[in-house]
Structure 1
Amino acid sequence: MNYRAIIIGAGQAGLAAAHELHRRGFTTGPDSDVLILDANDGPGGAWRHRWDSLTLGRSHGIADLPGLAMARPDPQVPASTLVADYYGSYEEEFGLQVMRPAPVRRVEPVHPTDPDSQLQVTLIDGRSFTADMVLNATGTWDNPYIPYIPGIESFRGRQLHTRDYTRKEDFAGLRTLVVGGGLSAVQFLLELAPVTETIWATRRPPNFTAREFDAGWGLAVEKAVRERTHSGLPAASVVRTTGIPQIPDYLNGVADGTLISRGMFDRITENGVVFSEPDSQHAEGHGPSRSNELQVPESWDPLPAGTELEVDVIFWNTGFRPAMRHLAPMRLRSPEGGILLADEVTPARDNRVLLVGYGSNASTVGATRAGRLAGRRAARHLEQKVVSAA
């Protein structure tokens, strides 16, 4: 079937974009102007997969979607439940019909040599649809990043990534190596400490920052990320840009030994890891978290190179990358490895695709803003296409 536009992803960014198109008179649904595809079984985007101990009080929270504010969240209810209910209510309120589950395999021009050709979107199950534009809002959840360390395939214990976590009881009585310098690693270390022996591994000293996490901080983070992504560079890791706030829970974790990094390992054995020389003695913050000195130096106590530790679990909290493999046929990437942007949502190489929630717009605040912008861009492009055809 043929559509004016196809939105891939029904999380914060995708719903904001769909709402903007709806507000401008475009209909959504299988037999309408705009088709919304989502890989999940139900509403909630990536939030529906989060662990039960994560509540909106412990995360950064989410921004209100345009036209419908979220009710005051109950801090006792899992974020996965609250956000799924909110997104589901939003879809119903504005009649945003979403096709799901509908994971996408690839997006490509119908006629590769024609720069004005429609785009074909093919699903994993083989179904395909065409459209004048594609608004990509697939986020990062489906592309977890685990660095390759020699020996990783030989480890006999359990390995898991942030997205695989369910509950702390699964770690009871085990020796757990938590890898990563971001807030997820910090929060998991504190959550797991009562039930398991933990060791914290980071490549650089923990990037604690003295800066208050206020609105100005958020804008500074987005500016720092935008400078990289708009130049065609991959976005810097979240922790290098945001830093770790010096709140009492985290400082107490340093004081009791839970939040002290022992450096990084460069080899994995059948039963553990072998630590290496630190890459750096500086946190190497980026943007608002940049500092010339360690803010909490006692959080950094690397083990001597060659130290071997036996562990039962390696818990990778090493972040995510944009989930955009399906866009590979569009050849959007620059030689630097990122996607050069003409503006906040438009790739310089092809304006038939809009990237919603990419780079500096990955937060729910940024995704909402980018969704509205993408909706406006798409509406304008489609209206001009109609005029040109006439």
Structure 2
Amino acid sequence: MRGPLDVVVIGGGQAGLAAGYHLRRLGLDFAVLDAGAAPGGAWRHTWDSLHLFSPAAYSSLPGRLMPPQPGETYPDAAHVVGYLADYEQRYELPVHRPVRVTGLHRAGELLRAETDSGTWQARAVISATGTWSRPFVPAAPGRTEFRGVQLHTVEYRTPRDFAGQRVIVVGGGNSGAQIAADLAHDADLTWVTLREPRYLADEIDGRALFDAATARRRALDEGRADTGGVASLGDIVAVPSVRAARDAGLLKAQPMFTRLTPTGVAWADGMTSEADVIIWCTGFRPALSHLAPLGLRGPRGHIPTTGTRAIGEPRLHLLGYGDWTGPASATLIGVGRPAREAARAIAALLR
């Protein structure tokens, strides 16, 4: 059994590292438990062509600017992985990996984290496990009848794997648009969206999205009208690859089909489309199964919070799952502020 420590951070991706930075500055005794085999969090598992929405200077964790990537305005995922690995080393963050937390339990005045390599105890816990490990695929009619290949965003890597194949990409968000743009040149592509794609203005990048999310949270906290945040601007950031495919007329979305068939999909009007592969770009759910022993889950699978603190367990903070745990907290630029607030709240609690 390890500990008791002041804090255990569960998750060593960008949110866990931002938390570690602020815990270190406050002089707290902590450990970061990361299920991954190497630094980089979810960025180690993305598709090959993925790039950030923002220049490096506006995609940084607290304390350390991301250096620019030579030849790229918007850094790619490999550059982000290198940055996160350097960040760990620069601030000497005590990351232990691979350590998978299987359950968090109350143990009197402590919280006990059961893992696949022993038990850790702490006076407080920050959960920062993100969403990448919980891909969501809707229960579409006929899904089990389709005889082709079905994948989720997390399983897509490169268009070379699908050259010459009939591919249906499902999803009108950023991942759907980017993967559709990736495949438009090499595959027989059908892009299907629930509603007409809404592109943000071409000049909008991640910094503007962070500002919009922050303004929305401030308005809600002050009791003013909901500004709509990022959703009010559109659904798809027009990164260069998406912009090029769109402007070339290669991204023409079809409305959502009504069911899958053994050989493809069908619409209510009788139209059908054959497919070898269906790629579901339909989002993720928070990876919170390790918190089930605490009995905190509320509506929509979320744990009710005040800021980052769990209402039902004040020793637990949640970080990086989306706006409900801090404005833009699932982004590199956005996670720093809620990480700082969580660390300060824990320091005050422990005092």
Decide which moves more: 15-24 or 168-177: 15-24
Give the equivalent residue in structure 2 for 1:203: 194
8 Å contact from structure 1 (residues 182, 238) kept in 2: no
Measured after TM superposition, the shift of residue 97 of structure 1 is: 2.0
Shift of 1:275: 1.9
1:50-84 CA-partner distances (Å, limit 9, x unpaired): 2222244x677662222222211235697333222
What's the offset of the Cα at 1:250? 4.5
Offset at 1:43? Answer: 0.7
Single out whichever of 217-226 and 357-366 deviates more from structure 2. 217-226
Which secondary structure state, in structure 2, belongs to the residue aligned with residue 121 of structure 1?
strand
1:88 to 71, 82, 85: 85
How many pairs does the alignment contain? 337
Closer, same or farther in 2 for the Cα pair 1:380/1:328, shift >3 Å?
A: same
Partner of 1:243: 235
State the structure with more CA Rg.
Answer: 1
> Residues 239-265 of structure 1, C-alpha deviation per residue, up to 9 Å, x if partnerless?
677522467865664454422211112
State the TM-score, normalized to the length of structure 2. 0.86
**Is residue 42 of structure 2 the alignment partner of residue 46 of structure 1?**
yes
> Structure 1 regions of 5+ residues with no counterpart?
27-32, 112-116, 277-304, 385-390
Query: Aligned to 1:341, which of 300, 305, 326?
Result: 305
**Could you say what secondary structure the match of 2:138 adopts?**
coil
Shift of residue 122, structure 1, vs aligned partner: 1.2
CA distance in 2, matches of 1:185, 1:127: 39
The Cα offsets for residues 173-192 of structure 1, whole Å up to 9 and x where unpaired, read as: 10000100012211221211
CA shift in 2, pair 1:99/1:337, >3 Å = closer
Cα distance in structure 2, aligned partners of 1:266 and 1:92: 50
Q: How far has the Cα of 1:213 moved from its partner?
A: 2.0
What one-letter code is carried by the residue in structure 1 that aligns with 2:110? Q
Counterpart-to-counterpart distance in 1, 2:71 and 2:15: 24
Tell me the residue number matched to 1:287: none
Percent identity, aligned pairs only? 39
Partner amino acid for 1:200? W
Q: Would you tell me which structure has more strand in proportion to its own residues?
A: 2
Match of 2:27 among 25, 28, 35: 25
Query: One-letter code of the match for 2:266?
Result: V
**Aligned match of 1:320:** 284
Rounded Cα–Cα distance in structure 2 between residues aligned with 1:255 and 1:242? 17
Q: Which runs of 5+ in 2 are unaligned?
A: 324-328
SS at 2:126's partner residue? strand
Aligned to 1:366: 334
- Amino acid in structure 2 at the alignment position of 1:69: L
Secondary structure, in 3 states, of the residue corresponding to 2:347? helix
Q: Quick one: structure 1 residues 83 and 250, their matched pair in 2 at CA, closer, same or farther if it must change by over 3 Å?
A: closer
Counterpart Cα distance in 2 of 1:153 and 1:106? 32
- In 2, Cα distance between equivalents of 1:248 and 1:6: 40
Q: Find the partner of 2:61 among 65, 69, 73.
A: 65
Runs of 4+ in 1 over 6 A off after TM superposition: 225-229, 236-241
- Aligned pair 1:377/2:341, yes or no? no
> SS of the counterpart of 1:5?
strand
Work out whether residues 50 and 79 of structure 1, in 8 Å CA contact, stay in contact via their aligned partners in 2.
Answer: no
Q: Against the structure 1 CA distance between its residues 273 and 219, is the aligned structure 2 distance closer, same or farther, given a 3 Å change threshold?
A: same
Deviations 1:132-183 (A, max 9, x none): 1110111111111111112212222111111111111100110000100012
Distance 1:328 1:60 in 2: 38
Task: Tell me how far 1:216 sits from its aligned partner.
Answer: 5.0
Shift in Å at residue 194 of structure 1? 1.3
The answer to whether the 8 Å contact 2:170/2:192 transfers is yes
State how far apart, in whole Å, the 2-side matches of 1:72 and 1:223 are: 27
Query: In 2, Cα distance between the equivalents of 1:16 and 1:372?
Result: 8
Query: Partners of 2:238 and 2:81 in 1: how far apart?
Result: 31
Change (3 A) 1:376 1:138: same
Out of 266, 270, 280, the position equivalent to 1:306 is 270
TM-score normalised according to structure 1 size: 0.78
From 6, 9, 31, give the equivalent of 2:8: 6
Q: What value does the CA root-mean-square deviation take over the aligned residues?
A: 3.0
Asked if the contact 2:99/2:117 (under 8 Å) is kept, the reply is: no
Give SS of 2:120's match.
strand
